[in-house]
Structure 1
């Protein structure tokens, strides 16, 4: 499918909201309290913002856990940052103090080879961390710490890559292929993400405690969090890569992203809304749109989106997949969403509609154990990330209590990923997952064309 003209896409998708068409289970379940009110669920809208996710048939583990400042990892991250700066400084000093141009050039190449080798080692490290988590040899907290460490090292290696590029530009009669440097940057991108970055901020005390959703397959991981008024998500699927082939062009990559994310593509901003950087065995497509930002990586061999990060302001998120319970003068509304998606909890007085501030707990229905989420605040609203299995939300205000049991909605998986078209969110899968809740190369800027126009591609620039 070619990137659709704006007017056509807008006819297909009028406005992006969360949710997907599918039946909801309103059957009676064992409530956490006697007399609990069960969900009265409206039919969700078919207009969705698609996400890269793990099909339920390939899901191994899923969990939602709270994380907070942690002295041990905090010291580790500080040491990683300091060590990276020291090593980069030492490398540059050796290069700058080389006795002759030949030695200087060889030192630059040695350093670049070292970064490339370390990138290969990070691939193995990330795969091992996911496998250990799946085998229950790592907790979700430990998994997040290890992924954050890998993220921190990858960022340090990229800073060294940039420093080597700069010192190369100051070296007479010597150059390194910009394609090689850009391919290395794309490879290091594989190990970084905004959720991992926020996890570091939480553990080092730079950000407040937050609840993180973790979902894994044999070789993939999906992370999400609600933080600083935004829903932040990242996903990586190693099974969607084919490193032996390089057949997808950057124009085709843009078409692939347009097909997979029709709502996002149709609402991209007018100026510099879309940027494509092609290097190595992937294309990075970044889209700034009216409701957030998407960064999608398309594999040049498989032609599939294998990595994604999304950031969306909470104020832009809406859904018609609501569940509502009323009791004891309290009206509890849950704007249901897909596993790991942004879940909104709203508490109001049932008669006046005034917002109510009260503590909220959530627990998996199967376990009957609840965890304190926080309180709804003066606006009666609390945001979190959705579990992957049926859950119960409980609110107690004085002598009043309301309990609501609901299901996650089907995941709006990528439109053009053939194996991801299933919308089954059942927790029963082949690998029996566990669910818990606990405390640069060529770069093209593609402007949005006039209605009915195909996107245009700008002149390439080297980053």
Structure 2
């Protein structure tokens, strides 16, 4: 073996050790952000299922420069666009209907059978070899289930886009996928617990890989949709689509969360293949010139042959992306922006009878803040805010954060004795170019 080959082999061993340290399946019942810090990344190709962590691009010696034309000092996190085609957008509060609740419940019960199957197969095995064979069988069934979840997700969005189902139908189907993914993760957790001591490193790695793949179908936005589908009321959820894109967004727990999928970017296509971790790091620095370069740490894992998942915090929030290594394009993105950290710009500023209403947005897009003040004292004023004919919330201490989508909307602010009507859209709404991603990540 040559000296160069020995170096690469040693690096691969280090990667394996790092992955083993993070092999445990995360708790499947809740959405969590996990950040790891283990050291620098090298120019090696990570084996499938392994993880690499280290300083973000632009933070160490030899860091790649930001691509020309992208301003890393803008301090506005880049967002993944929805791609070409006609843009549709609407917002609504997910609510339950009998059909929705029954459909979600039945689907969850069918998937939950997997945990009982784990117990049955492993309890009947008498040797480590039999237990490992049972584990491989369950993992193969889970791999097929993951593929079916992706097919169901694509079909749900296609049906909504083509008019075959309405928004409630889309929410129901996405909630079902979300809950099914959680149950499959519980199955993996049960499998890992019951087969402990019989698992090889290869099987441990496969369990971790499948768990990360299942995480693609879960997000805080889908959690809110699923809560609404089973009867728990929550805030507004925005849904936008193009021919090949879906965006879901909401305000939850003091943060704005946006999830985007570009279905056309899952398969291979034109683009430069990313063969090393260094190339992935450099590419993320180009696609997210502010968020990635401002991050002090990141984690990168290979979730399947063509997809890397990368997570990185930054001063205004956190980002999780799924990067197609064959094309260098972002397939999925979930962004969380902390509302007390984002930089806003004024979209509307109107005063009526000493009542001042301002509407501020982040780079002309959601999240949107409605602020109501007494113009004479600058004291906060409690008011009910409506968008169209829907009441969307009440200003708490004078402020309300919400999503309004990409179409111009008529907003009413009512204090009980005074009413102010404003239009958000002429200067505050995301443009078609922005929605299509021509100024966003990967376009």
TM-score (structure 2 length as normaliser): 0.74
Contact kept in structure 2, 1:356 and 1:376, CA below 8 Å: yes
Return the alpha-carbon distance in structure 1 between the equivalents of residues 211 and 139 of structure 2. 12
- 2:33 aligned partner: none
Return the alpha-carbon distance in structure 1 between the equivalents of residues 228 and 338 of structure 2. 19
1:52 matched to 2:80? The reply is yes
Return the alpha-carbon distance in structure 2 between the equivalents of residues 216 and 71 of structure 1. 26
Contact kept in structure 2, 1:241 and 1:304, CA below 8 Å: no
SS of aligned partner of 2:402? strand
SS of aligned partner of 2:251? strand
The correspondence for 1:4, drawn from 53, 58, 71, is 58
The correspondence for 1:156, drawn from 183, 188, 209, is 183
1:355 matched to 2:380? The reply is yes
Return the alpha-carbon distance in structure 2 between the equivalents of residues 4 and 388 of structure 1. 33
- 1:123 aligned partner: 150
Contact kept in structure 2, 1:339 and 1:388, CA below 8 Å: no
Return the alpha-carbon distance in structure 2 between the equivalents of residues 248 and 215 of structure 1. 33
Return the alpha-carbon distance in structure 2 between the equivalents of residues 201 and 248 of structure 1. 40
Shift of 1:86: 4.2
Task: Give 1:46-445 correspondences, 5 Å limit.
Answer: 47-55=75-83, 57-68=84-95, 73-74=100-101, 77=104, 80-81=107-108, 83-100=110-127, 102-171=129-198, 176-205=202-231, 208-243=233-268, 247-269=274-296, 273-280=297-304, 281-337=306-362, 341-363=366-388, 370-377=389-396, 379-407=397-425, 408-410=428-430, 420-422=437-439
Q: RMSD across aligned C-alpha pairs, in angstroms?
A: 3.2
Higher relative contact order (Cα pairs below 8 Å, separated by 6+ residues): 1
Shift of 1:83: 5.0
Return the alpha-carbon distance in structure 2 between the equivalents of residues 200 and 334 of structure 1. 29
Contact kept in structure 2, 1:193 and 1:234, CA below 8 Å: yes
1:329-366 per-position Cα deviation (integer Å, ceiling 9, x unaligned): 21111113468721101111222222211222223xxx
Shift of 1:397: 3.2
Return the alpha-carbon distance in structure 1 between the equivalents of residues 245 and 71 of structure 2. 31
Shift of 1:195: 0.8
Shift of 1:296: 1.2
TM-score (structure 1 length as normaliser): 0.71
Return the alpha-carbon distance in structure 1 between the equivalents of residues 279 and 429 of structure 2. 31
Contact kept in structure 1, 2:347 and 2:424, CA below 8 Å: no
Shift of 1:51: 1.1
Return the alpha-carbon distance in structure 2 between the equivalents of residues 333 and 54 of structure 1. 28
Shift of 1:153: 1.0
For structure 1, which runs of at least 5 residues remain unmatched after alignment? 15-45, 364-369, 424-463
Return the alpha-carbon distance in structure 1 between the equivalents of residues 316 and 131 of structure 2. 48
Contact kept in structure 1, 2:311 and 2:320, CA below 8 Å: yes
Shift of 1:262: 2.0
Contact kept in structure 2, 1:130 and 1:219, CA below 8 Å: no
Return the alpha-carbon distance in structure 2 between the equivalents of residues 328 and 420 of structure 1. 41
Contact kept in structure 1, 2:345 and 2:362, CA below 8 Å: no
SS of aligned partner of 1:297? strand
Query: Which piece of structure 1 moves more, 73-82 or 128-137?
Result: 73-82
Return the alpha-carbon distance in structure 2 between the equivalents of residues 348 and 216 of structure 1. 35
Shift of 1:421: 2.1
Return the alpha-carbon distance in structure 2 between the equivalents of residues 318 and 404 of structure 1. 22
- 2:43 aligned partner: none
Contact kept in structure 1, 2:114 and 2:184, CA below 8 Å: no
SS of aligned partner of 1:321? strand
Contact kept in structure 2, 1:241 and 1:301, CA below 8 Å: no
Aligned residues: 374
Contact kept in structure 2, 1:328 and 1:401, CA below 8 Å: no
Contact kept in structure 2, 1:232 and 1:312, CA below 8 Å: yes
Structure 2 vs 1, CA of residues 135 and 362 (structure 1 numbering), >3 Å: closer, same or farther? Answer: same
Return the alpha-carbon distance in structure 1 between the equivalents of residues 279 and 183 of structure 2. 32
SS of aligned partner of 1:262? coil
Shift of 1:168: 4.7
Contact kept in structure 2, 1:49 and 1:412, CA below 8 Å: no
Structure 2 vs 1, CA of residues 101 and 181 (structure 1 numbering), >3 Å: closer, same or farther? Answer: closer
